[in-house]
Structure 1
Amino acid sequence: MGSTSHSKGRVNRALGELSLDIPISLAVVVLGYIGALLHVVPTVQALFGLPILLFLPGYALLLALFPGKELDPEMHGPVFEPFEWNASLSLAERLALSFGMSVALLPVVGLVVLWLGLGLNLYVVLTALSLVILAGLTVGEVRRQRLRPARQFHIPVRQWHAEITDAFDRPDRIDSALNVALAVAIVLAVASLGFALVDTSGGEAYSSLSLLTEDASGGFVAADYPSSLTIDEQSELYVSVSNFEGEETSYTLVAELQRVEQSGGETAVVERQPLGQQTQTVADGETWRTRHSFAPELTGENLRLTYFLYEGSAPTEPSTETAYRSAYIWVTVTDGADESAESGDETTA
């Protein structure tokens, strides 16, 4: 028993001398940089990026402002030393305020970055926040070392280690089993919360379908669609498909010119002209833009030029009910000979 107690005493003294907040914070910053540079999976990036965004800047600033720990006046009595402005803060207050101050610092850092003309991107923001963290930790450590050891704030690893060791050293097996179950439950709860915070698979997954035209400057706009077409003459339209499914996806794009009738609030297709289909595999986060050329064969007013988007293969007879996405415009298709005859009649008159 004497040997065990002596070993425990050495462990407690070693833990008590460590300022774990500094190395842990620096490790998180370095790992965050490595994750960003190596483009690791988003879950790992978020695991180290979220503390840099939402915790460490506020923690570093609080350490610079309040390097001391809260003392119990009944146990320690009056403290006679040079006055410092509210230099103490409890662990619970420090942890809670770290989140709030980090959120408050984000827009300030963003404005400074924009004022310097650096632009907002991952590496600039990460560097700016890292500088704030390093500055706060440096000032905080200097001010902490100027305090008496009894007043210096440290993560209470020694206290936690002693409490856990004492709890598991109790002779009561039932208490030991309950302590183990409680520790396992806490670890599982923290792990579940961390996974929920960093998991990106639960976000909305979708694909977008857009119909575009090319303007005079060569840009693509969702406007100025053709409304009057001529039978058997080539027309064109651009179709854009963006993949936000979280994975590589194979699409089938089907185009049709439809004559529809509306009755009782329902629209029925009474005649259709297939205008072809295309298949393309699109990586996650990428956009597939294609030019579709076609020659209408149906004539009439209020014909529906419809595009159907399917994941995978498309059915023989596509419809808005079976398609993953659909988009359409209304067009009028005329016979060129009829238009020439009408123009001749107007000239004669």
Structure 2
Amino acid sequence: MRILSHEIRKVFTLKMFALLIVISAIIYQLFISFYFQYFPNGRPFLDYYRISVQMLKDYGTHMDETEFLHFQQQYKEQVEEANHYLQSNKGFVDAGITTYEDFRNTVFNSDLEALRSDAYNKSRVDIFYELQAREGLIQKYENKETDKLRAYAYPSPIKEEQAARIEQLVNNESITAIFPHLVFENYNTLITYVAVLVVLSVSFMISPMFIKDRKNHVIDLQYTAKTGRPLFKKKIAAAMVSSCLITTAQLLCFFLLYSANHVSMFFNSNINSVFNYGAYWYDLTFIQYIVLTVVALYVLGMIVTLLTLLISSLAPNYITIIGAQVPLLFILLKLLLDVLIGDSINIRYPQYVQPLLYLSLAAAAVIMVIVRWKKEQVADIKG
């Protein structure tokens, strides 16, 4: 245990820890903070969010046909409010725009653009944005099946298993869940960036683990002692514990910031909602989906740790480590991250793709580290 704690302390040196904080702060500022500061991002997304929250209060986590009729009635009442606003505004009356239907169908040229801008922005009237949001929600509810099918019809025809899954969703209540797409997209974007940050952090912190000992000729001294060679296993354990600590710290910071987005009311909503884009292989609530991505992120961190350890144990210097990690990080972050984290259970990919990828990557990493460990047991001391 003392050796293990010593190896962990070697990972979290003051210099490396300070650099990790700086790198994390830069990545947060450049790529992540925007999705906290500007959520929901503008109109009518703010109205989609507000109306969805009100729908949860009025109808619970699902909206049945009777409740949908009530929602449509609220839309009609707001149309009447819009009509009253237009008829009481001299500019619109002079332009012959006295109903919401006229407002929707009017082509606003340069002469009328000031009126339109005033209605949307200057008069502090939210009704036109709200009507726009309600229309979108009503359209999605009325076209439950066709919208989901259309999403997977391009660029290639929809596959049989995708169509079967969509039909299954339409026939159960998960499709009527109240869960706006902007909440899901915001979380997916954020957790993808956090995954990038975790992968880079783990790779950065674990990389020097063997290089430092090789540079100081500590490994040569270890080979001369019976108890020295088993330190390879201790380093693996220390690296795995360190990886968990790094991932946990990054996730804690993320979820503390994410709590300010105020989306906890949607935690019990099904992600297969008609109001959310796409369809998914599993009937998960939003909180269950969050848990799934967190578990996947820990597994990804462990895989990166093992691969980084392997490179560190083979590379003679830091330049070689960087050169070897570039293609590894490119494959994980550019080619596979969407499947592994961002859009992992979307029916866009076959149902077996994500678990098979994780199993393949984990198995490859474990096998290569075991092979390397066995070679360490019989390695000669080079003079």
Fold conserved (TM > 0.5)? no
Which of the pair is proportionally richer in helix? 2
Which of the pair is proportionally richer in strand? 1
Q: Which has the higher contact order (CA 8 A, sep 6+)?
A: 2
Q: TM-score range by the shorter chain?
A: under 0.3
